[in-house]
Structure 1
């Protein structure tokens, strides 16, 4: 049992980190989070993934408090009101007050009160805190006293994060769990949210953000809310074993938003948390969960179809730390990756929350798509990197019925990629002309691609953000070609100027001669083909 002597109510005690619309940071209770939502910019956290996990918890509360929204009309009423219906939110939170007590003797929040192992005892807080590198405590600011004790507020944030994003690997073997062998709980995978490339749509304040991710219950293609869908605190308290009705779950989004991937018990009380016991919880595989999980994009997986013997398998579209969000825009746009056609085998399916925002907002509105995810290391047993990326864009780019502007955005990305290929070939040709082998030429391609995309990143985000309902798609394409050509020409010029005398002389490579002048000429022709600009545009505009 926990050593708590008194409770810590997440409803009343401040524990959620937020940023106000003025830019300051504050710590608020769950009740205050909603009451102040119109004056708050967003939930923040000790890590971006922590903020995403807490946002999902808040969505589960609002879905259940308002019993919906039932349909788009109900949603519009909530939107037009400008603030949360605090009478409903307060009544709902009070109804489940005991389940939001971090140290409740029988039903501690997101924990199992009598969790224990055969040997007894607790582990250190490094099992709870995700930003402590495994076996590398010299490289974290939490070494020493930072790992000895956490305040209840910080422990609560990390507890929500652990249930969402915990690493895989061997866990403590809990008494009462028939899966335990030799006192150990063998891997069941990462926490549910760690499987997905998290996507949320951000509005101008936190209440708008909540609503933009609050899909109506009559939209089963976007988010399928079954009658039994309920968050963890409405379900019977967990035991050490897997949930007995696991085969019929997840029941819907609120079930997934609060999925209990682990069985946990904190050691401590209101004066601080000093240890934690973490055991395996409810295992959940990611295949074909797209109707229940609206906060990620999905991709069709031929390997999974072959492995499982199924005609159609969708997997979450994970986020790549080395690839900016805009480069994967094709999987986000409802016009290109429609959820309504997923059963027909579309290669990509956009996130339900993105499709919802496109459906309920006017085309002239602007939103931010916020991507948050975690990349794991060897056997998913350690954290490698965290993805935190945002794109500000017009709802017109998310439009379904008029795909001209979304297509222009995709064409711009494809053109940029072809332009980068051109400068990559230039880098490889110059390396070979100087006498480099295949390995060095390949390394040169990789280096210049990184430079090229880094240089295109800010201009593309600015260009994408400039698109709106009145934009002419063709003019927008040409404008992007001008910008991208200017940057890539400059990068190519730098490579040519840096080429040494040997590269200018050149050499024979695979039956043909490679030299700086030849490589440069080929590069300029390839760039013109990748990023064409009408002849009437002044030459100096394109950096030619």
Structure 2
């Protein structure tokens, strides 16, 4: 460290958390400021979307410990009715643990190990810390050219993110870690959030977002009553070895789980290098009672392996699939009482169950707008590199999340299914037109249509892309005054108009050879035949749209 370097960077008072204010301005706030001004902040605005989830979980851990609660629904409601967060206990708490929130502290640097080193004293480039530069293959970064370095504020954010989302793979072997072999730390899995199908309900301000995710202690959930559910900064400073008690004691523990041992290297007033080694390993099976920010699925393979049931695993997001196509997994009302009693095949996120309860209890009005955001990271082979980031959101009225809103949940689920059937109708039209033109080989008898040219898949994705915006808008309108029959018919008509138009465009672009056609499975297939089949399939997919008013000839 040079003589010009700071010897302290206090995260309590120094600005480092990026936010977007309600007036649209962007700035950075300290920990103390982000709580005292939470009602003025619209949302966090991290360097990467997954940073937002990691930072929110950090803030939640602080609130839970500073308030020692909330204890129950009544206490939560008092917090919700207030215009601002009661920050005096929060500021007092941060001051009490201030030394643990110093990024550069010589003995207890924030989320790091001060004496971390390898046998040869190596450190790594910051590409190991920044998730948008996977293994030297930048795809998000704007930091190209020259040596990569970070301000202290940037480094603090990436340290939080690294503990949550760091890829697996071989790490630097830390001196003192008895798991190291040949100077290497062999894979223990990604950071904890990297295993999750992250779900984050958001309100109109950061104050609302934090409270919507601040689940009270529950008498029926013992894991939330543990007095030892402590964040990393309330525990003894960690060395390179694993934690004495490797099992998480509650959600606060998970929010700050130290999956890595990290040491930042500062020089010239900036962070220049980093050392990242393995930290505390954490297996994902059956963590759903402690972890509220993920979707879950029942795993028969894990049940067989562990010889117990049920076993639930986190359900990562598919970055190529729009959030609304997996809508059923997000709606608490989609899981019936019978399913809950008989170990359902999937579970929604605990934070969405909480919003559902708030709506059921009348604390949130049925028209309250909730932005349900899905966040996650997908990785390459063996989870060793960062590959893609998922960041999607749906604007919903809280009524749709209520367990008793079966009528709305039913129409939402059916409309997703109808959209999928309509998209596949368009895909089949594209395939039939290609086959009629001789472009795609016909399927062999008894075999799937795996020999097409990709026309079908492209058409299906085109349909989904065109349906995306209108479906989100339609879904946001479902509320307590919605008539399900009318709403479903409205969506069928909207979807039919969109997919019918796309079908017309495909038909009009069909090559001349398709009009003459060719024999497929012993039957003549022409563009006219393809259009007729499309009209019938679309009518079946969207029966309430009265697609039969159209004629195949107009396709």
Please state which band the TM-score falls in when normalised by the shorter chain: over 0.9
Unaligned runs of 5+ in 2: 359-363, 444-449
Match of 2:259 in 1: 261
Counterpart in the other structure of 1:185 = 185
Aligned-partner Cα distance in 2 for 1:373–1:59 = 18
8 Å CA contact retained: 1:102, 1:156: yes
- For this pair of structures, how many residues does the alignment match? 539
Residue 445 of structure 1 and its aligned partner are, at CA, apart by: 1.2
Is contact 2:380–2:386 with CA below 8 Å preserved after alignment?
yes
Which deviations, in whole Å up to 9, do the C-alpha atoms of 1:212-247 show, x marking residues without a partner?
Answer: 00011116559745332111111111110111110x
Aligned equivalent of 1:289: 287
CA contact 1:225–1:292 (8 Å) conserved in 2: no
Secondary structure of the 1:490 match is: helix
Q: Secondary structure at the match of 1:145?
A: coil
Partner of 2:174: 174
CA contact (8 A) 1:6 1:270 kept: no
Aligned equivalents of 2:331, 2:366: Cα separation in 1: 14
Deviations 1:426-478 (A, max 9, x none): 11111111112255525111100110000000000010011111010110000
Q: Match of 1:24?
A: 25
Q: How does 1:511-526 map to 2 (within 5 A)?
A: 511-526=522-537
Work out whether 1:375 is the aligned partner of 2:372. Answer: no
SS at match of 1:374: strand
Deviation at 1:136, TM superposition (A): 2.7
**1:359 Cα offset (Å):** 1.5
Measured after TM superposition, the shift of residue 539 of structure 1 is: 6.7
In structure 1, what is the equivalent of residue 446 of structure 2? none
Q: Secondary structure at the match of 1:163?
A: helix
TM-score by length of 1: 0.95
* Mapping of residues 464-479 of structure 1, within 5 Å: 464-479=475-490
Q: Distance in 1 between matches of 2:343 and 2:519?
A: 48
Instruction: Determine which of 353, 367, 392 is the counterpart of 2:351.
Output: 353
Alignment of 1:523-538 (within 5 A): 523-533=534-544
Q: 1:131 to 1:139 in 2, by over 3 A?
A: closer
Q: Which moved more, 1:462-471 or 1:307-316?
A: 307-316
Q: 2:402 matched to 1:399? A: yes
Q: Which residue of 2 aligns with 1:491?
A: 502
Secondary structure (helix, strand or coil) at the match of 2:28 reads strand
State the SS of the aligned residue for 1:533.
helix
8 Å CA contact retained: 2:425, 2:538: yes
Q: Which blocks of at least 5 consecutive residues in structure 1 are unaligned?
A: none
Report what 2:60 is aligned to: 59
Higher mean displacement: 446-455 or 1-10: 1-10
Distance 1:217 1:412 in 2: 36
Structure-2 change in CA distance of 1:476 and 1:189 (3 Å) = same
* Corresponding residue number in structure 2 for 1:44: 45
| TM-superposition CA deviations, 1:34-88 (whole Å, max 9, x none) | 0110000011111111111111100111111111111100000101112111111
- Is the CA contact (8 Å cut-off) linking 1:229 and 1:251 kept in structure 2? yes
Report deviation, 1:534: 6.5
- Of 317, 320, 324, which residue of structure 2 is paired with 1:322? 320
Partner in structure 2 of residue 9 of structure 1: 10
How well do the aligned residues superpose, as a CA RMSD in angstroms?
2.3
Distance 1:383 1:196 in 2: 14
Equivalent residue for 1:233? 233
CA distance in 2, matches of 1:139, 1:11: 29
Q: 1:425 aligns with which of 425, 428, 431?
A: 428
Residue 97 of structure 1, CA deviation? 0.8
Provide the secondary structure at the position in 2 that maps to 1:463. helix
Q: Distance in 2 between matches of 1:461 and 1:262?
A: 38
Give the Cα separation in 2 of the matches to 1:182 and 1:533. Answer: 67
Contact 1:337 1:347 in 2 (8 A): no
User: For each residue in 1:299-329, what CA deviation from the matched residue of structure 2 results, as whole angstroms up to 9, or x when unmatched?
Assistant: 1122222333322221112111110001101
Bigger shift: 431-440 or 29-38? Answer: 431-440
Equivalent in the alignment of 2:97: 96
More deviation in 271-280 or 437-446? 437-446
Distance 1:474 1:225, change over 3 A: farther
* Map 1:452-467 → 2, pairs under 5 A: 452-467=463-478
Q: Contact 1:215–1:222 (CA<8 Å) still a contact in 2? A: no
1:141 Cα deviation after fit: 2.3
TM alignment of 1:86-125, pairs within 5 A: 86-125=87-126
Structure 1 partner of 2:388 = 385
Distance 2:355 2:49 in 1: 22
In structure 1, C-alpha distance between the alignment counterparts of 2:219 and 2:147, rounded to whole Å: 46
Structure 1 pair 115–2 and aligned structure 2 pair: CA distance change class (3 A) = farther
Q: Which residue of 2 aligns with 1:207?
A: 207
Per the TM alignment, residue 374 of structure 1 is displaced from its structure 2 partner at its CA by 0.7
For 2:291 and 2:339, the matched residues in 1 are separated by: 16
Distance of 1:182 and 1:368 partners within structure 2: 48
CA distance in 2, matches of 1:280, 1:166: 10
